[in-house]
Amino acid sequence: MNEATVCSWCEAEVSPEARRCRYCGELRKDIYVNRVRAYSMGAIALVTFLGSLGFQLWFEGSHVEAIADAVCGVLMFLSGAAVIAAGVFATRVSKSLRTYWWI
């Protein structure tokens, strides 16, 4: 038996296999949330990476260069973690939309 589910955006009944609501045209809420998370993690990765480069250049040659190098290392680690998280969320979205472009 194919039971209908309710769209999280417009409260219309849609089939459980549908990726978009046929009334409002929005993606399912879980797909939308994972897509926003992927873009947010990508933006965080870019900002922390560029911030660490700027921080390192700002304090280059000063007496606190060792501390600046440590802070840059932490920022680079956070940037790498954000890249991994963005990849995980992007993979979830891709699996939900059934776009396996890497296979």
Provide mean pLDDT across the span 1-20. Answer: 80
**How far is the C-alpha of 27 from the C-alpha of 19, rounded, in Å?**
6
Is 100's pLDDT higher than 80? no
Residues 11-28 pLDDT 10s:
888 888 888 888 888 888
Kindly report the pTM of this predicted structure. Answer: 0.76
Q: Return d(Cα 68, Cα 85) in angstroms, integer.
A: 26
Question: Which pLDDT belongs to residue 36?
Answer: 92
Angle at 44 between CA 62 and CA 25, to 5 degrees: 165
Per-residue pLDDT tens over the stretch 40-57: 999 999 999 998 888 888
Separation between Cα atoms, residue 41 and residue 52, nearest integer Å: 16
Beta carbons of 14 and 21 less than 8 angstroms apart:
yes
Residue 7 in contact with residue 14, Cβ under 8 Å?
yes
More confident residue, 64 or 33: 33
